Amino acid sequence: MMNTTLYSSDTFLIEGGAHLKGQVKISGAKNACLPIIFSTILTKETCLIEDVPDLLDVKNACELLHILGAEGCKPTEGKILINASDVKSYETPEEIVRKMRASVLSMGPLLARFGKARVALPGGCSIGARPIDQHLKFFVSAGAQVSVRSGYVNLEIEKKKPTEFEFELITVTGTENALLYLSNVKGISILKNIAIEPEVIDLIDVLRKMGANIELEGRTAIIEGSEELRGFEHRVIPDRIEAGTLMVAAVLTEGEVELLNVIPKHLEAVIEKLERAGGEVQQIGEDRIRVRRREELKPLEIVTAEYPGFPTDMQAQFMAMLSVAKGNSMVYESIFENRFQHAYELRKMGASIEIRGKSAFIKGVKRLKGTEVISTDLRASASLVLAGLIAEGTTVIRDIYHLDRGYEKLEEKLNKLGAYVERLPATVS
């Protein structure tokens, strides 16, 4: 699990009270971009990825590719060119892997390419135990020898062969790892009970461009892999979680914000809840929406679920909003067992939230008060920023390391909309 104190981390200082107004462009999705970066290991040809968000996780993924021996890997003005033909190493070192969850996605491509992989156990947000047993069960079913020793997973396979595998539970990166691997295995494989998050579908688009033939029937994927995968050019889908976060900001601050570069279909569950809570969301173009407050904030019941359900990655942001809704709300977190750390920080700001197991009971209060809080994980940090936007006085959010993993220039975007968010650089590392 991630220990934030290991990393130098800035502080946000927020003055509450602004009504956000204006236009904001949504960045490419972190959780789509990362698996796509790892897919480049599967080909010796050059790959071009566009709409790459400027994020710590992306920089770390690129550094990992660079350490493995790939060329390019320098995100420049939203683009990355990667050529992995010179990759010779099949070992991903702990220092990088523990910084981000998605580095587990190097397993599938390295095993496919070298017949071997040695990958440190991944980090990411500490929102639960986050085991990778389903990834490993998949690799075993594909014929790999798998062992875990001294914090590293060792995988080895003699001869790649197609396989049929059913996940015991729905896992996003587990599905992506299996798709990455099988796309490079000749023959027809079947994966059942897969995740169908938009980020998984974006990866499938890329794997198809590379030459894999992938068909989807509900939660089943039929994959005809190829041993000679091609390079690709691909524009990453917009980040639905960044969009959702800014939509909540617009409603919460009684503002009016136009979001550019969104795929409204990906946001259906979020839009439905936001409208029930008193927001108004209008589609004003193919990839544009306008969001504002329609009426007084109302309480909600939210149960997180796999896509197309309500995303766990939006739960914390909604909790910040429900903290000041008129009435009692309930949030049930069905995906992760420890994803309520923001609730304790929101309480410091005056929110009334009681946690019982996987449920949070929120009694709306009239207002929040600025104080000093700690950001414990990525979306928890986002919820504290939202709370800071409407709190009385100044909110100081320490250790925004995780926020930088997942939001591109959040303070700049918010300030352009009229907020006051100042970044104070870390003084100790």
CB nearer to ligand UD1: pick between 163 and 173: 173
Residue 171 touches which member of ligand PEP, ligand UD1, none, C-beta under 5-8 Å by kind: ligand UD1
Q: Which residues pair with 422 in a beta bridge?
A: 13
Q: At its nearest, how many Å lie between ligand UD1 and the CB of residue 415?
A: 26
Cα 362 to Cα 146, 300, 330, 358, 366: the distances in Å are 44, 9, 6, 13, 13
Return the residues of window 102-121 that contact ligand UD1 according to CB under 6 A.
102
Question: Segment 302-321, which members bind ligand UD1 (CB under 6 A)?
Answer: 312-313
User: Does the annotation place 198 within a ligand binding site?
Assistant: no
Kindly state whether residue 329 participates in binding ligand UD1, applying the rule CB under 6 A: no
What's at 389, amino acid-wise?
Answer: L
| Pick 232 or 318: Cβ nearer ligand PEP | 318
Residue nearer to ligand UD1 on the CB measure, 108 or 174: 174
- Taking phi first (over 0 means left), then psi (-120 to 50 degrees means alpha), and beta for anything else, what does residue 104 get? alpha
Q: Tell me if 335 is assigned to a ligand binding site.
A: yes
Angle (CA) 294 297 300, round 5°: 120
**Catalytic status, residue 47:** no
Answer with the entry of ligand PEP, ligand UD1, none that 133 interacts with (C-beta below 5 to 8 A by kind): ligand UD1
Is 30 annotated as belonging to a binding site? Answer: yes
**Does the footprint of ligand UD1 cover residue 419 (CB under 6 A)?**
no
Phi and psi for 330 in degrees, rounded to 5?
Answer: -135, 135
Both tokens of residue 414?
Answer: 């918010």
Please state the closest distance from residue 135 (CB atom) to ligand PEP, in A.
13
Q: Is 219 annotated as a binding residue?
A: no
The secondary structure of residue 302, as a DSSP letter, is E
Nearest Cα residue to 49 out of 28, 64, 63 = 28
Which regions of 114-185 does DSSP assign to beta strands (E)? Answer: 116-120, 145-149, 152-156, 164-166
Give the nearest distance from C-beta 132 to ligand UD1 in angstroms: 5
Q: Is 25 annotated as a binding residue?
A: no
Q: Is 10 annotated as a binding residue?
A: no
Pairing verdict, β 372-374 and 394-398: parallel
Instruction: Point out which span in 125-133, 143-151, 285-293, 418-426 binds ligand UD1 (CB under 6 A).
Output: 125-133
Is 179:191 a contact under the CB 8 Å cutoff? yes
Q: Is 101 annotated as contributing to ligand binding?
A: yes
DSSP string for 191-248: EES----HHHHHHHHHHHHHT-EEEEETTEEEEEE-SSPPP-EEEPPB-HHHHHHHHH
Instruction: Check binding of 133 to ligand UD1 (CB under 6 A).
Output: yes
Q: Is 352 helix (H, G, I), strand (E, B) or coil?
A: strand
End-to-end CA distance of the chain: 19
Contacted entry of ligand UD1, ligand PEP, none for residue 406, CB cut-off 5 to 8 Å set by kind? ligand PEP
Site residues for ligand UD1, 22-51, by CB under 6 A, read 31, 34
Binding residues for ligand PEP, rule: CB under 6 A, are 31, 100-102, 124-125, 127, 313, 378-379, 406
Please state the residue numbers annotated as binding site for UDP-N-acetyl-alpha-D-glucosamine: 101, 130-134, 313, 335
- Note the residues at the interface with ligand UD1 (CB under 6 A): 31, 34, 101-102, 128-135, 169, 171-174, 195, 312-313, 335-336
Please state the residue numbers annotated as binding site: 30-31, 101, 130-134, 313, 335
**Active site positions, annotated:** 125
Please state the residue numbers annotated as binding site for phosphoenolpyruvate: 30-31
